[in-house]
Structure 1
């Protein structure tokens, strides 16, 4: 039951090239920076990533992206990551853009064993009708487009069929966790982390504070240990390394 690993490098050592990964975080909040960096140093490539966004230049998944280690991204936001946009438009990266709420539910559904669900989000757009550019060719033409999805009407309103997502591995960051893998997330850092943790076949969690079994009240646990296979305790410096995406101060 002791799921603690001695280091981040040990925890990600068996992630192979070509693996699919669900990665928590939103912008720079709640990103499993230490695990992502360990995976970069490990050298796996051709990764298929499911995450809200793909980090920023030099941080989070942006580190793997800049090194050319990511082959495909399923996400909802390109954001201000210029390298992400460049690789996508240059045909170096396949990108499946999906509505943010739909992405969250696809991860939750996959983790809960639900193969698919219907949602009104995206009806009347290329999300449902198909034709979204997934991959561009080097000459700027569209090489791969999204397929049309099944539409059904419920209570007089059309809904699109979306499939649940499961991945080979998941990388998440938690505020607190115990040796059994029970996790607690703090404020906005929860974001996609609980959903990614559920969707991963092998979920690796970096935790800012490691507790002993029984120290967490069952009422405060956000993700139970059944979803988590490996836990890495962060150092104080790693836990405190939290960047601010846009710092605003008075003149």
Structure 2
């Protein structure tokens, strides 16, 4: 069922299942995380901290401009998901030419998982074949209206939710020297989407407990979260900022981390 439903959404099911498991095992690690790895100061194209005359910025007149933040959000929501599965955008760097969820030889997967990845690609190919068939049968405009536009909306919503799970100015990243599973699992944040929490199966407002116990059925997550709040105290992160405002703030303020240090907070 997972293969069928994900293939219908052009998601390489087994490939994503494998990488998502790595994400849960290595969440918050600068070295071993597989997605949403922040750029370092050097990768962001800035001088070293000691040589930077602007300090933490802004470094040009457009850096803090609303138009730049808006362009970044639109680009992320429209292109973020396909860029991630196709070319591993925002993912861990590997010493290979093409790191991709569609490449069965990629280092994202082990040799034992080769045929799982192939099966995922076959599922996507079948869906694309059906889309081509229906385009010929009913016209491209019909397929765009009833599939492509909803597809882009689903992708944008998925990226927004997952981005906000793991990006907030108060959430750091850890380097290998001090990272461990428990610390990494707590580097996520619970956010409420109001009535949509029900339709999300509460994945957004119980995401902390989801990372601590990823095999827990979703219908126990709210109950478990209440106990986790009491146990963790100040180490439990939640945020009630309206979603649009939180997205704007995180995109504006979470641009890079320093090249050095074990605990790395986002800077803008």
- Normalised to the residue count of structure 2, the TM-score between the two structures is 0.25
Kindly indicate whether structure 1 or structure 2 has the higher relative contact order, using CA contacts under 8 Å at least 6 residues apart.
2
Q: Which has the higher helix share?
A: 2
Q: Which has the higher strand share?
A: 1
- Normalised to the residue count of structure 1, the TM-score between the two structures is 0.26
Between structure 1 and structure 2, the one with the greater Rg is 2
